[in-house]
Amino acid sequence: MSPLLSVQGLVKTWPGPRRMRALDDLSLTLDEGQTLGIVGPSGSGKSTLARVLERLEPADAGRVQFDGLDWLALRGAALRRQRGWMQMVFQDPLAAFHPRATVYSALTDPLRIHGLAPPRDWPSEVARMLEEVQLSPELARRPITAISGGQRQRVAIARALAPRPKLLILDEAVSALDVSVRGHVLDLLVRLQRRHGTGFIFISHDLAVVKAVSHRIAVMDAGRIIEEGPAEALIAQPQTPLLRALIAASPALPA
């Protein structure tokens, strides 16, 4: 079976005096329904990878095969049609919503944009989307600014899942949540993955969280993947000084 996502030789240089390669010949693969955790120091290129995959930024070179599509070659209407298959959740969901949005309007956006349901079905769809992320349908009327951070992150997840993506990229998506809320959201993500078979790329600076949710882990440094393997084995037998340092800095790492 071919992988859900196959990235080969991805290069991204941000403009600026240093012309540094944020992605430097990066390659990875992800199988359907699996989670690839990505860890690495600040500035190693994790968010750049997410943004290039999500087609928010162009790549300079490289190839991305996603669900059988030549992903970076998609343009215009073809890209708009397909982009629902790959969704993203960011660290700060407030920045991702219109400041005057209500929970209802935030959740009907994808229904309208992707043509997922006729307007008469939106109220029942929104109730179903909220229930799926274990939120009360009564929340729909509230402004997005008037719910808690954990609730808002669940709304962001519900919105990202609306087009039934095959891949969800989570960029520090639980980092701002306090420990107990984080646990709930992580459980929820694992359950949703089992139910829908969604692939996840889970980017976090927190190795313990990454280990808890990932089937495989990739370690990034200076725009490259320097080490990659099954989560348990990789952490049991780190091969690079960087991963050894990340492990040493994670006292909460479960055995």
Applying CB under 6 A, the residues found at the interface with ligand ATP are 14, 16, 20, 22, 40, 42-48, 205
Minimal distance in Å, beta carbon 176 to ligand ATP?
Answer: 13
Minimal distance in Å, beta carbon 15 to ligand ATP?
Answer: 7
Minimal distance in Å, beta carbon 217 to ligand ATP?
Answer: 15
Q: What are phi and psi of 215, to 5 degrees?
A: -80, -45
User: Residue 30 or 53: which CB sits closer to ligand ATP?
Assistant: 53
Minimal distance in Å, beta carbon 225 to ligand ATP?
Answer: 12
Using CA atoms, how far residue 190 sits from 35, 96, 184, in Å, is 9, 23, 10
CA distance linking residue 232 with residue 212, whole number of Å: 10
**Contact (CB, 8 A) for 143 and 100:** yes
CA 129 to chain centre: 18
3-state secondary structure of 116: coil
CA distance linking residue 216 with residue 195, whole number of Å: 20
Q: Which amino acid is it at 92?
A: D
CA distance linking residue 255 with residue 239, whole number of Å: 18
User: Residue 132 or 171: which CB sits closer to ligand ATP?
Assistant: 171
Q: Is 27 exposed, middle or buried (0-12, 13-18, 19+ CB in 10 A)?
A: middle
- Parallel, antiparallel, or unpaired: how do β-strands 69-70 and 5-13 relate? unpaired
User: Residue 13 or 105: which CB sits closer to ligand ATP?
Assistant: 13
User: Residue 3 or 43: which CB sits closer to ligand ATP?
Assistant: 43
3-state secondary structure of 214: coil
Minimal distance in Å, beta carbon 212 to ligand ATP?
Answer: 19
Minimal distance in Å, beta carbon 169 to ligand ATP?
Answer: 12
User: Residue 158 or 177: which CB sits closer to ligand ATP?
Assistant: 177
User: Residue 43 or 137: which CB sits closer to ligand ATP?
Assistant: 43
CA distance linking residue 149 with residue 95, whole number of Å: 12
Minimal distance in Å, beta carbon 32 to ligand ATP?
Answer: 25
User: Residue 47 or 193: which CB sits closer to ligand ATP?
Assistant: 47
